[in-house]
Chain A
């Protein structure tokens, strides 16, 4: 039976919505919103179908046969002169246990953000058009398996983000948008350099038997495909491989964001409108860590193995530094932004452990952080919509004024603190268990446990300042949540609790892929012996 091209569908559905929106007359704001919500909702349904049809046993990572829902055909092919030979770029999509959770996360967060965008009133058509384009870009990054295609999606998502922050943002939106754009573009340049280097280092046979350079990620993971004298050759490794790893890593690290490349994040978050903050924190940050897991790890296993201590170190710095910075903030949204820095540190720590438990914890933390932080930003948004201020000291006593809202806040805050029974706990515990199991990262892991104390510190302090105490008389007209806000909060709350109680829902999806990745790296540890660092 011919399989439907699910991945293309889920990636390009928003584009269909975008075209529809562009054809609508300018003043049909309501219809525009409905279309956007409908198409993102459809994405969620498709993600559900994918999940249903997903084969849990397939490993993926470097084995093309065990990728699922694969679509592969030649996209661009031309004769590039004697030196390049035939240039061939594939349209190559497929998912494994690393990308499946991310696809689900992207669909979910986009849907929630689309609902949250209901309150946007300024040039609605343009907003939702860009929003849907962004959606496509994000989804594409997670399903692309061809380097060139990956890069195209990676850049595709930048542009709408720039406009969404720069036009619909807060008072310093231009500064924030430009900072975000240039910073991320800088990262992209590094990535591009590494991509070109890799492209020119490996050849695979074409149908007619000639050897051509390749952008195929999976082929690049196989050391046998590298040319003897290729600049980044895995056969004959040189220090250039080390440099290329660093270039790629920095490109992705900017997105995570890793200390010291994180300063675009607070600015972008503070200025971006709520739904965009939600997407930024919920999905975009994950691209950094996803990129490292998908590309850095299997393509440069030799370098990875030698650098895990450094990755863990930066993870630890992120955890503690981010938490301490969050503690000093006066702006609610900035605090949440710094908490993201801290929580993404757990992902890096888990990745660095190179154990199944740790890496699974990292991937799970990517998903959990996506849902929890999305909820936290929605929480700030609800308050900001009503009061137009985000100063932590302007509030107090909200628990009496908005009890239901405070209930959701408590769930989200305690999930962020890592309370057992809520999703954050499992991933953090897994990260710690994994990190401790690897002798290289053990000490750093123990230091990182300080993060759970500091995290509780700033979260509870915030809870106290904003929600407890006596009500500030200014706000005695505030209303509790409305139906639309219920629709945003309830699914996220359910997921947070569900994954806290039964994490296997997510862990089983990623289990075999994480195993393949860890095995691949363990094998690499022994097989790349000639490397000089």
Chain B
């Protein structure tokens, strides 16, 4: 017994410190940290996002030229279809009267492809993150309310989701683009208006499961208010789903923006990777085998989309402790 008392005395000092700091925020931070410590793919995904975010923020510094202004040679003519300097035959540029320092060459109207690529990350991330936030937030709130309260609220929200399911996505964006000026915000708006349907459905069903579990009843019995039950007990359990749908939405949004741009409904004043592909397609870059024009934006789209999936997957594994191997 004496020994036990000693052990406990020693412990008490230690663990007090530990639990003082055990706030919700800290827990969340640690959980996030854990995602990337455990899952190397998620870490890779994070690196990709961080990389593109840095590129987007420092675009004016990184990009050697303005992405929209055609580059001109000494005679004032556009430098059309210049190959990247590491592909071009030496001496060709001097003959044409310019210095070839284009990392990825120029377009058919003489714009610098590398600069376009750099600026394109801005559009992609803007669309990706805002759509992700919109989808995750709207979907989570709708799912929580519908699942927890049930009854009329549930019926109302879920029928609204049915309507959203009934609207085809790409045509919807095209219609929106027709109403408003072409802008990348159309894509964000359309995603926010429609894509909450998937996440809210899934989250609602998860809420239905969780609210029947006895730890929720236990909270009720110990006097927790409804808001506390929703946000302290249920919401954290469905958070990984929100994250998951959020990261998927990033991928979706970037893909959609690319599709819409490729179809030609985007703002010609904003460079995005999809727009670059459309530009390349229209100017027959493929038949000229100008892979330096097509592959980089494609690769960038692929990388960001993949990064989204990697992180989503990592969250799924870490935030459900039960799925973990013990």
A and B part of one assembly? no
